Amino acid sequence: MHFIDYKVNFRNSIRKFLFFLNVYSIDIALAGVSGFITVNKVFGLPQNLALIVLLFLGIFLIYWLDHLLDIRKYGNHLSSRHFLISKKQTLLYKIGFVFILISGMIAFFYLSIKALLLGLLLLVLSLLYLALNATRYVPKEIFAASVYTVGIYFQVILNPGLYEFLVIGYFFGLTLYAMYGIAWIEKATDKRYGVPNGVTTNKISQTMFLLLFVTGIVSVIITSAEIYNQLIVSYLFVLVVLKSIFALCKMQRYQCNWYRIAIEWSFLIPWLWI
């Protein structure tokens, strides 16, 4: 009996821990950093600690500010995530201010001019998105996929080649597929609370899956570079995992409160794979 209670308590503790990581966007920040490290390893680039810290803090800030804006526009009833964040708004603003100061100092003292300019472009795009989103509907799926992709492939973009751009495009498509899938799952909730949702049909997601699956298979067949193939194969595995998550959610009539955790942790697969 005591052993069963221990197992139940341990399971509940794990659930609470994963939920905490998800609510405050720690899991997606970890996935971003792991993706950045993996990509640099594949392309033979040095691991830049300053960029790793900036990426981690940047993902935090963008997600936090986006959630705080949603709370101001629609209230804290959108999800348990929004409700909990609303209770910590003052603290989060203070932490965000500290993160901005730290990020500014790291960028000024440790980044090259080229990296600093690309970072500033990302910052301007992020601020533009947040400013527009505060007053009107902005398709956040495309923005989020773009910024997330540039962040993970930051060092590759500084010295790109043709194949690099093909891989970047594939990862962007994979991320966008995940974003559209999330938007489709949340469509009913968004409609209930008057939140604009740009995904009108699930056919977009289904078409993207087929395109990504076929493109990934063809890329692996025609490319001789084994290390690049490992990256594409790991992305294909993420694609299949995402498809499975969406299928399970559909079976539960989209009453699944675990999908975000599963989706965001699935982006750790390439780091574990390679």
Structure confidence by residue, pLDDT tens digits, 44-94: 899 999 999 999 999 988 888 888 887 887 776 667 777 778 888 888 889
User: In the prediction, which pLDDT does 151 show?
Assistant: 93
Cα distance between residue 184 and residue 73, in whole Å: 21
Longest dimension (CA), the chain: 63
Tokens of 15: 């659930």
pTM, entire model: 0.88
Cα distance between residue 32 and residue 29, in whole Å: 5
Tokens of 71: 């709370």
At 191, which helix (H) or strand (E)?
helix 187-192
* HEC-encoded secondary structure of 20-73: HHHHCCHHHHHHHHHHHHHHHHHCCCCCCHHHHHHHHHHHHHHHHHHHHHHHHH
Q: What are the DSSP calls for 112-140, one per residue? A: -HHHHHHHHHHHHHHHHHHHHHTTS---H
Mean pLDDT by runs of 10 across the 274 residues of the chain is: 55 82 88 93 91 93 85 72 80 90 93 90 85 75 90 90 84 92 79 68 78 86 73 91 88 71 89 80
What is the residue extent of each domain of the chain? Answer: 40-159, 160-274
User: In the prediction, which pLDDT does 81 show?
Assistant: 74
